[in-house]
Amino acid sequence: MVKSILYSLFLILAGLFPSNTASSYTLNAFDFRFKDIDGKDLQLKNYKGKVLLVVNVASKCGFTSQYKGLQEVWDKYSKEDFILIGIPSNDFYQEYSEEKDIKNFCELTFGVNFPMTGITTVRGKKAHPFYKWAKLTYGSKTVPKWNFHKILIDKEGRVVDTYSSVTKPTSEKIINKIDNLLDSTLH
């Protein structure tokens, strides 16, 4: 009897203090801002209503050649409701220490012209608030385990999928998901 009373009390208290799960959390991806690679404000709210592909990148990584695929994806969808954002990070010690060096490397080596942020921490206690929000609301699958981890966000600002470093940006599963997200509001 005491157990059932305690359990009932627990359920009542749990209802009074909801957790910050995806269903009860009020923020979405468009509530965050970064500094862009040139030091200017990059507010995700400017991309409301667009599909976002957010990728933590690094210039000296075994996956750095994925910049070519990221640029292909950007070229394919940049005229649609789609934004690709590269987030340089040195969390895995494979990035230049200066934004100007990153920008020069990306532009000269891969012709990158999609939006990029300044150097950003993407994991741990010092992670950017966007990454803390993603982990809190969508779980550890959003935490980059290495460079070129991809987070796909729908037009409402919700994480819909994540892709590991080994998944190429031009992979069928990423392209199909982007196509579906873009098409879902056309019909």
Q: For 148, left (φ over 0), alpha (ψ -120 to 50), or beta?
A: left
Is 61 an annotated catalytic residue? yes
Catalytic residue among 29, 57, 58, 61: 61
In whole angstroms, what is the distance from residue 70 CA to residue 76 CA? 10
* C-alpha of 15 from chain center: 31
In terms of Cβ atoms closer than 10 Å to its own Cβ (0-12, 13-18, 19+), residue 6 is exposed
Number of H helices, E strands in the chain: 5, 6
Active site residues: 61
